[in-house]
A and B are shown apart, each in its own frame.
Chain A
Amino acid sequence: MNASSAQGVPGLSAALALAFLLLAPLAVAGLALLNAGLGRSRSAAQSLLGSLAIMSASFIAFAGVGACFAGAGGAVAFTLSGKSWNWIGTGPILLMELGKSPIETQLSVLFECLAVALAGLIPWGAGADRVRLAAGWAMAALLGAFIFPLMAHWTWGGGWLAQLGANFGLGAGFLDPGGGATVHVLGGACALAMVWIAGARRGKFPKEGLATAMPGHNAAYVLVGCMVALVGWSAFNCAGALLWLHAEVGSIVVTAINTLLAAAGALGATLVVTWVRFGKPDASLCANGWLGGLVTSCSGAALMPPAAALFTGIVMGIATPLLVEFLELALSIDDPSGAVTVHLVGGLWGLFAAGVFAPGKGQVLAQFVGIAALLGVFLPMVYLLLKLLDRLVPLRADPDGERIGMDLHELGGGAYPEFVIHRDESYR
């Protein structure tokens, strides 16, 4: 018996999980392209460099500190009402002795490293065109070192949410194999906090009249980003099913098909809704719909039948354009990448749908408890931590920087030096 089979992941599953995880960075690349395309041309280089910086900060923070809180190796637990409540991991720092660990543990750490990078890019997109590179970097370090590991431990590291099934008979416990909660709802909560603290872009909400439209500068980046993201998302969902659900290799194809169906259903629904509503399909909203479908698939692709995955995607596709408009016009939330709708709302809908369509009595209630933890613990915690961070490293660039563009202000050069960058009419 080898080390991997001793941990419950046979050799073939481990090899497949590694192959999927080597493709998973494409989800990060796709999201980075989407964020850059949905922002302005004068902030495109800062957006993409920020994405790389966030990846690096996330990796270092998680490997250095976060992994010891997230892991399943050791844990701090207390007993309440005769049940053990495992709430934080206590592994070694700096990934010491990871090389001697079973392959399942090593793959779990790799999965979490990539997941935290993806989570860090979500608020970065929401803060496009006004959030400073240093602030994005510090936020990613905070997320990777403390916030993400706590939720990762609760969900994937044998924490109290994962044990809801064993302790309270709630299905198989809180289920989130692809990171719908740990990556997307958490990232979406960070995005909401970021938008609240940094505020709207200058000129977005004028003193009188409706919000100013500030369309993304490159629809081609956005749409290619969607295609690239599909590969990464499928890889995340398949790797998550193998690692966290110990799924049979034979069931992985259905997970990949469900991911495709959720995205396809969502895109089709958004296409129809925007066509009917505006007379023509809207490229950026359709991209948000596609991404929303992918996000909803994270929790349930490995658990539900294909028809349910398609239905989940279609519902998200209908909701996406309506919610993006509602958040901007009714709630004054300036979110250039649609992160709050796509990741926060999409992630929550995916978690609920996974509870409804997954087999097992009490699964819906387990998902509800997980959602309660995300909204009741992590959203306030993220807001307070980002507010403190804003005191140390101001999130927002000064008005002059915002006026000339983040590329010139922060990097000294633009993404498109041979193009004429048009003056912003909204500052008149």
Chain B
Amino acid sequence: MKYAGLAVMPAGFFLAVAALVLFADPARRGAFVVCGLLVEALGLAVAVRGHMLDGREARR
């Protein structure tokens, strides 16, 4: 689960970079960059959740 979360995070980065290349309009570009950050936050949340589950397993 941790690896799945970490694998999602670069997708957010590529979304942010794609926004720079594809859009000239500042509003649209900004929206896509923010979406990229949200994807990264989602990946980080999944990775953190994976860490918590691993910790619970180790304590059993």
Residues of A at the B interface (CB closer than 8 Å) are 80-81, 83, 164, 168, 196, 199-200, 205-207, 331-333, 362, 365, 368-369, 371-373, 375-377, 379-380, 383-384
Whether B36 lies near A365 (C-beta < 8 A) is: no
Q: Which residues of B contact A373 (CB under 8 A)?
A: 13, 16
Q: Which residues of B contact A372 (CB under 8 A)?
A: 12-13, 16-17, 33, 36-37, 40
Closest Cβ of chain B: how far from A126's Cβ, in Å? 14
Closest B residue, CB atoms, query A383: B6
Whether B12 lies near A375 (C-beta < 8 A) is: yes
Q: In the assembly, what is the distance between CA of A199 and CA of B54, in Å?
A: 10
Q: In the assembly, what is the distance between CA of A202 and CA of B40, in Å?
A: 31
Closest Cβ of chain B: how far from A334's Cβ, in Å? 9
Per-residue interface assignment for chain B, residues 1 to 39, with 1 indicating a CB less than 8 Å from any chain A CB and 0 otherwise: 010001101111110110011000010011001101100
Whether A365 lies near B29 (C-beta < 8 A) is: yes
Closest Cβ of chain B: how far from A218's Cβ, in Å? 28
Whether A199 lies near B40 (C-beta < 8 A) is: no
B contacts with A, residue count (CB < 8 A): 30
Whether A332 lies near B51 (C-beta < 8 A) is: yes
Decide yes or no: A371 and B7 within 8 Å by CB, A80-B21, A331-B52, A332-B55 being known contacts: no
One of B29, B37, B51 near A196 (C-beta < 8 A): B51
Whether A375 lies near B20 (C-beta < 8 A) is: no
Closest 6 CB pairs of A and B: A376-B13, A372-B16, A380-B6, A332-B55, A81-B21, A375-B40
Q: In the assembly, what is the distance between CA of A376 and CA of B19, in Å?
A: 15
Q: Which residues of A contact B58 (CB under 8 A)?
A: 199
Closest B residue, CB atoms, query A170: B20
Closest A residue, CB atoms, query B22: A81
Q: Which residues of B contact A81 (CB under 8 A)?
A: 21
Closest Cβ of chain A: how far from B22's Cβ, in Å? 8
Q: In the assembly, what is the distance between CA of A371 and CA of B37, in Å?
A: 8
Whether A200 lies near B55 (C-beta < 8 A) is: yes
Closest Cβ of chain A: how far from B40's Cβ, in Å? 5
Whether A376 lies near B60 (C-beta < 8 A) is: no
Q: In the assembly, what is the distance between CA of A373 and CA of B17, in Å?
A: 9
Whether B16 lies near A377 (C-beta < 8 A) is: no
Q: In the assembly, what is the distance between CA of A200 and CA of B33, in Å?
A: 35
Q: In the assembly, what is the distance between CA of A80 and CA of B48, in Å?
A: 34
Whether A376 lies near B33 (C-beta < 8 A) is: no
Whether B55 lies near A369 (C-beta < 8 A) is: no
Q: In the assembly, what is the distance between CA of A80 and CA of B33, in Å?
A: 18
Whether B7 lies near A380 (C-beta < 8 A) is: yes
Q: In the assembly, what is the distance between CA of A371 and CA of B26, in Å?
A: 18
Would you list 14 pairs from A and B whose C-beta atoms are within 8 A, ordered by A residue?
A199-B58, A206-B59, A332-B52, A332-B56, A365-B29, A365-B30, A365-B33, A376-B9, A376-B11, A376-B12, A376-B13, A376-B16, A380-B9, A380-B10
One of B2, B21, B34, B52 near A368 (C-beta < 8 A): B34
Whether A375 lies near B48 (C-beta < 8 A) is: no
Q: Which residues of A contact B30 (CB under 8 A)?
A: 365, 368
Whether B13 lies near A377 (C-beta < 8 A) is: yes
Q: In the assembly, what is the distance between CA of A369 and CA of B48, in Å?
A: 23
Closest A residue, CB atoms, query B58: A199
Whether A375 lies near B13 (C-beta < 8 A) is: yes
Whether B29 lies near A376 (C-beta < 8 A) is: no
Q: Which residues of B contact A368 (CB under 8 A)?
A: 16, 30, 33-34, 37
